[in-house]
Amino acid sequence: MLDPLLLARIQFAATTVFHFFFVPITIGMVFLIAIFESIYVKTGDEHYKRITKFFGHLFLINFAVGVVTGILQEFQFGMNWSEYSSFVGDVFGPSLAIEALLAFYLESTFIGIWIFSWDKINKKLHAMCIWLVSIGTIMSAFWILSANSFMQHPVGVKYVDNGIIGKKAEMIDFFAIVKNPYLWNQFPHILATSLTVGGFVIAGIAAWKIVRGHEVSIFRKAFKVSIVGALIGSSALLVTGHSQAQYLVREYPMKIAAAEAMYEDSGNVAAFSVLAKIDQKQQKTEEIIEIPGMLSFLAYNKFEGSLKGMHTLQKEMDEKYYPIIGKHLNYIPNVHVMYYTFRIMGASGGLLFLMALLGTIFSFRKNEIKKRWFLKIMPWMLLIAEIATACGWIMAEMGRQPFIIFGVMPTETGVSSNSGAAVLFSLAVFCILYTVLGVAQYVLFRHMMKKKETTVREVA
């Protein structure tokens, strides 16, 4: 129970998933706030100015908590993953430095200007500040993802002593890391996720205010813009998710095989498993509900085409990586986790698209006020969106196992030489801190949302 490797992995998973709760909200929310202010500048409609300020306060709360959770996350590299940090430090250094010195400074600087310069500088210049903040959040995501993408698909490096584990990776081509194909499959999907989550945050809060009769005319406008953003984001989410799945079929077939609990090779017409009984010990899957040909369509855009099962892929990967790693490994990830997170993620994405589509239709028909059942559901959609994003990350990271750097460094070789008790203590401390931060954000959001008409007028 005090296995340092297991506890270190649990800690990294907990802190990463918790931190990522705030990242898409930040990226998506500030983008929509910039749109609100641009509409105000273009039309002179004071309602959009008041909307901008109201949601700007909520954005600042989320941004502050997100920064703190990100800082806590970085401590883990030195505490629990020192061998990994030493191995990959020269590669991650430029990406993380650019993220901190360019993207984060851009965000922080112009957030300050934006907060304190209302009605003190030209309106267009003021709106430009929040757009620069939005650009900064997108750039920050790009450089962080460039580091993560290297873990999934290492490129642009050479390995000292032919890559023997315990040595060091040295960067030889910075632009290869920037052009990493995994990055350019992942980055659009993250942007779509962020717009979806940010849209549902604002639409959910606006719906909550409308139901309670707080400044209905103002929050209807906020709802309309944000729900359209959520529809665009969720539509892009489905498209980029499909594209990403096809990329995984080509480059990382074990992830897809595990996500389908497919131990044996499929036939020429591969069925998509909707529900199955999985026996991971016996390595058998009993299909309960399946859609014939759908997996082939997801993989190849046609209703035929076979996929390799995990048994075949295990043999192929062992033959490929044994000369590099120097030992035999089990390349089959946790099938239960992969199977169910994939389905939760997919079902949640479909539900988000459906709700965004309904909300857009209701809003443009100007009858969303009459759909009180719908407005009452909307605040809960943020929870669905966050579950979907968490499952997406869990699937991506669990599917990379047993590697911390795919094909190069097994996870077990990257952990620090800590005692299990030490890691357990830090895990407990981190969980307590994150709980406090989560409760604090909830209380502050709730406090802002409960204020009635005076809330919007005060911040104006």
Transcribe 193-208 into DSSP letters: HHHHHHHHHHHHHHHH
Domain ranges of the chain: 4-265+308-450
* Lowest-confidence region among 89-93, 129-133, 238-242, 353-357: 89-93
CA distance 373 to 377: 6
Number of CB atoms found within 10 A of residue 354's CB: 11
pTM above 0.85, yes or no: yes
**Is residue 458 predicted with pLDDT exceeding 50?**
no
Residue 388's closest CA among 168, 128, 197? 197
* Lowest-confidence region among 16-25, 27-36, 56-65, 159-168: 159-168
**Is residue 456 predicted with pLDDT exceeding 50?**
no
Q: Which whole number is the average pLDDT over 112-127?
A: 87
* pLDDT at residue 274 in the model: 85
Number of CB atoms found within 10 A of residue 184's CB: 13
Mean pLDDT of the chain: 85
Which token pair is 366? 């100007």
- Quick one: DSSP state of residue 121? S
Residue reference for tokens 């790693």: 325
**Is residue 455 predicted with pLDDT exceeding 60?**
no
CA distance 165 to 148: 19
Give the model's confidence band at 28: pLDDT under 50 very low, under 70 low, under 90 confident, else very high: very high
